[in-house]
Amino acid sequence: MKKTAVSTPSVDSLQTVKVARHRLVAEGEVPSGVLRSEIEDSWLRCINAGLNCDAPLDFENLSKDCIDDLKDKNRRLIEAAHPEIKQLVEYFRTDGGFVMLTDESATILKIKGETRHLDASTRYALAPGANWGEALRGTNGPGTAIVNGSPLMIQGSEHFLDSIGYLSCCSAPIFDPKGELLGVLDLTSPTDNGDLPPNLSLVQQAIRSIENRIFSGQFQQHIVLSVHSRPEYLRSSWQGLLALELDGHIQAANEQICQLLNRKREQLVGRNLEELFGVRAEVLLTDLHRKGRGQLRTRGGDFYCELLHFPNSFPLSYKAPQQSTPKISRNKPTSAALNAPPLSELAGQDPRLQKGVRMGSRALSHELPVLIQGETGTGKEVMAKSLHLDSRRHQGAFVAVNCASIPEGLIESELFGYREGAFTGSRKGGMIGRLEQAQGGTLFLDEIGDMPLALQARLLRVLQERTISPLGGGDEIALDIAVICASHRDLKALVAEGLFREDLYYRLNGVCLRIPAFRERTDKEDFIRYFLQQLTPDGRQIDIDSAMMSQLLSYHWPGNIRQLETTLRVAIAFMEPDERQIDSSHISDDFLEELSGEGLSVPSGSAICANGATLKTNELLTIQQVLEQHEGNISATAMELGISRATLYRKLKQLEDGAV
């Protein structure tokens, strides 16, 4: 497989490029320095193929039966590319981007995304079954990437045909484990929508994930190892992959391992593991089964490796015997199914949050940690749950640890677990730690900024080595988890003050997702209405009157979404069954005082005047019910109702006096 460096267009004006192309057609030459070499070479091939740059897009697309046959033939490629196509479409939809998948001849298999900005002829020409080979359609992403055998960016008028000069595309070929071309992934967007190089890097990253997925699927009957010089890149899209027989003979190697070892594929395939790395397969596999991670040594440096797949049909006679270590209780705490809204609903219509959500989702898909920052009450844990449910680990456990609520003396045993007898007062049989409880799923470390410094060092080692050792000794346990952290504190400032380890900060901050305070969101009104319907227990369509909505929108919301939820719950509780609109009569007195800034203000024509007695009775009955539920606990009752203790005492006095 040919790999070349990807360069950025150096042309200042796309019009200059267009003029150069027409000069090539008329005079047979292009002014020196106007084009990148790969574009100039492609244009010359187009001229030699007899193409005309002002030719219309004239396609005879395949019949439905032929398209179905084409998709069946490429089913493995289509299924492997589906997750990456979905993510790229979501990421670039707002920029007018769309994604195409083609076969090895540049025939479109699948197209997804925003195509409304295309003219009718282009839209028709980009349907499944259309062929975009360079010899037919001139310089274009899929066709030229296939000819070059390498990633390619084509901007605007660098296309050979004038009719598609308003588009820019990033394309990269997809290869199978043997280095044979399977197809092309292409991201296309309008020319005026910003810089393209970052888009190309995302396409290349998606290609790595697709190729890795195809590799793992093709070698289900072989041992598959993940290899990298840096442990954090194991099981990521950057991992090197080796498929082995039980005796250590290498059957396949992906492009990443070839680059890591600086060897061609033919220098790896067919060789024995011991010949290349100086370790017998049975020794390495025994070590991997016992510790979860091993090392491969070469003259060029050391590499980490993990076992991704071991066929059930292979014997395990060499597997290390289980040592008689004290048994740890494996009873994981039962929990209800996670209940969290989809990421799109959490992001709403706020552009910053939409971007953050897209980045967080993509980071988890590539095994990168996510750091969520935001004020108290903005919904950091809800965001973490939604990210987990959107990830490939959604069927695994979601284990949340609040680093601020666990006493400093207990947090280490909570995280790492312990063997029986590890310390005085330890539980009989030991205890499984939160890290191990999250095995195969997601660990959420809330308020990570409050973790003691001494424990930060141990957590850093776990994240680097991906193994844990429970307190009290015993074998290390291989760890396979995604990590999401959150804090309302500025971790960068804590690092500067020496209160948080800098190396741990950069280990956790793969992608930082900042949740804006509710007062800063640009979609407050839409979110309030959406949230109101989510909280309505009987499905009624409830609205908020315009005066009250204006006050809610101008309020500073120090408690963020958590405070909003309480406010709306109280309003719903104070409504009559036949009411459909929230106004000031449904809001607690102390919150009305905060909204107005000068005490309770009630319009003369409001519902509280017209229906005052009924509403007051309903309000006092609700207070009485909540008070009974909390067995007379004033603080708990006031918190649930969203009112102050002083307001609650005043209303209880009304109950005692029989006020209505």
Supply φ then ψ for residue 499, to 5 degrees: -100, -5
Residue with more model confidence, 619 or 194: 619
Considering only CA atoms, which of 577, 584, 585 is closest in space to residue 542? Answer: 577
On the question of pLDDT at 349 being above 50, the answer is: yes
pLDDT, tens digit (0-9, with 9 covering 90-100), for 25-62: 777 777 677 788 899 899 889 988 988 888 888 777 78
CATH architecture of 14-172: 2-Layer Sandwich (3.30)
Residue with more model confidence, 567 or 652: 567
Mean pLDDT of 449-461: 86
Domain boundaries, the chain: 14-172, 219-309, 343-516, 520-657
Give 32's DSSP letter: T
Mean pLDDT of 457-470: 82
pLDDT at 660: 42
pLDDT band at 491 (very low <50, low <70, confident <90, very high): very high
pLDDT, tens digit (0-9, with 9 covering 90-100), for 71-84: 989 998 998 898 88
Within 10 A of 213 (CB to CB), how many other CB atoms are there?
18
Fold matches, 219-309 and 343-516: no
Q: Which of 178-182, 193-197, 267-271 has the lowest mean pLDDT?
A: 193-197
Residue with more model confidence, 655 or 454: 454
C-alpha gyration radius of the chain = 31
Q: Render the burial of 237-247: b for 16+ CB within 10 Å, e for the rest.
A: bbbbbbbbebe
Contact 157, 43 (CB under 8 A): no
pLDDT at 42: 93
Q: Where are the alpha helices (DSSP H) in 311-350?
A: 343-347
pLDDT band at 613 (very low <50, low <70, confident <90, very high): very low
CA distance 401 to 409: 15
Contact 328, 417 (CB under 8 A): yes
Considering only CA atoms, which of 173, 98, 176, 167 is closest in space to residue 139? Answer: 167
CATH class, 520-657 region: mainly alpha
pLDDT at 408: 65
CA distance 200 to 155: 12
pLDDT at 579: 84
pLDDT, tens digit (0-9, with 9 covering 90-100), for 238-261: 889 999 998 899 999 999 999 999
Q: Which of 284-298, 503-517, 528-542, 587-601 has the lowest mean pLDDT?
A: 587-601
Q: Looking at this protein, which amino acid is placed at residue 44?
A: L
Locate 296 and state its tokens: 């491969």
303: Cβ contacts below 8 Å, ≥ 6 apart: 227, 228, 229, 240, 260, 295, 296, 297
Residue with more model confidence, 658 or 370: 370
CA distance 218 to 226: 15
Domain 343-516 superfamily per CATH: P-loop containing nucleotide triphosphate hydrolases (3.40.50.300)
pLDDT at 474: 59
CATH class, 219-309 region: alpha beta
Q: Looking at this protein, which amino acid is placed at residue 172?
A: A
pLDDT at 324: 38
Angle between helices 546-554 and 524-535 (to 10 degrees): 110
**Residue 131: beta bridge partners?**
107
DSSP track, 606-628: SHHHHSHHHHHHHHHHHHHHHHH
Cα first-last separation, the chain: 83
Helix (H, G, I), strand (E, B) or coil at 352: helix
Q: Render the burial of 535-545: b for 16+ CB within 10 Å, e for the rest.
A: eeeeeeebebe
pLDDT, tens digit (0-9, with 9 covering 90-100), for 84-134: 898 888 777 777 889 999 999 999 999 998 888 888 888 888 999 999 999
pLDDT, tens digit (0-9, with 9 covering 90-100), for 390-444: 888 888 889 998 887 776 667 777 788 776 544 444 445 567 888 888 888 999 9
